[in-house]
Structure 1
């Protein structure tokens, strides 16, 4: 067999085994479809029956408001703190430069004579640290004995008022038992001063009467609004979320429905400061129209009252009473599970 015959036979053998692309693809498609039909039939024969799922158990979502009135006054000082601050003021009298009298008062003027009279009584330019002289042999003695009234706030206030109201009458006896002759030095004339308005007391009339509905009580403390619901329980104002409102919007709505429109309030932030979970007893769930509701979860928003007062008339939440209470008073008013959930949200003072 020559070379030409071998080439012809090789070409013929290759042509006999070749298949066009369209035929090859169509054959694969038909085979795949047939296999899929067989698989679906086999699967359909072994599908187990599916049971109808029951409704899932859930909690109702409530929004609550921790409405507070911030402290109006600074807190009362501990006796040790009061004594320490007085010691610091006396120490300042020792370390500061002496008071230059003639720089402020012209010699032999009424102001200079009054200065001499007052410095003779208290021995120091400061008016609220008692009798103490920062320069001299007794300058080191700047500490008080236990129980001395000079460190008490009320005693210091009285000394300031007394210094402002002293009349400078001739022959008046000073604190050191010596006769005050400043009026005689002023030519025998009486130096009179206008009465000074006294500061308001830290204890108000509402504190004395125990009026827990007044905001003018416990001025150094933070007060929180508690309301009594339909079941007679004391708690923060709360209500179920409605529609598509968020917690901030719900808090504003609850404040308006619970306390009326006469309160100027401010809801702080958009995130809750705590939550409380209440589970319904089994008897309550069985008699409820929605037995799949396990209870409710209340998310509390922080709010401040700027002015006004709560008014429960015609409130839309069925509230019957309200109180403004400090933290330890809240603990006595609410139930124990509720207190354990909210205690870390309340300020200590």
Structure 2
């Protein structure tokens, strides 16, 4: 190993745009298999079957690539400029998670990782693989093992330097580089992230039931959302930032340097009435280059209609009514539910709209 390679690596990571760079061994997350098994046994993963299918790799990075000797964990800030929860008060508008208000971060981070990996090969040799939420890699436990931050009570990574707002990426290498000490838990007695959750998705500190998590429900969950959870969605139409936003460690968050992470003006508080009229082509055009495009028009419109039902705005009734016979069963179900909710809020009486046919 060449002298000073790690120091030069950290400097190069900063030059590429990363805000933090720490190193660990692939086997430094020995606790993950047991915790992952418990998570899966409780059914907390919901419809995310891939977590179970590749649990052997996700639980043990050394199994994913046995030749790897070092994991380089990178963090990149996407801190919002204003209050990320301010849009929740505008019930006629949708609230989109901060990370999805512009370009898809996967593409941006991966390009940086590839450039850094090429630099490392030129500087030190060896082989490399890069990952950014694209393979069964336990990124958050590896981030803690490398000293990047710790998994807070909301199960997300928290940093004393970056707060909660940062993306993770990793470079696995066959080079044997000097590692960093693991980070320890600094949550203390704070439980702000647990108490703010609108759908009670945390059965206990450090445990997440994805089946009740708004991020999961609006992004990963297919079909209709349980009626008992729909009111808790509020006007959140893609993701949820509540537990991240209230973390007191955010006082140390640094501003996002990458302009692609700055919010598009039209995605800060988009009007529900306009979003509800999007056909497939309009949806694809509006969200070109956005991570939102991945869930498709039908799932997105389903979320928009739940938000309309929660808006209390009678002016949106016609918008929901127009989607009651949509070709997608979950969209039609959401539209009819929205009409029922708006009628109840306006009149205190049951709607005469025919209930949706139960889905198989």
TM-score normalised to structure 2 length: 0.18
Identify, as 1 or 2, the structure richer in helix. Answer: 2
Larger radius of gyration: 1
Identify, as 1 or 2, the structure richer in strand. Answer: 1
TM-score normalised to structure 1 length: 0.19
- Taking CA–CA contacts closer than 8 Å with sequence separation of 6 or more, which of the two structures ends up with the larger relative contact order? 1
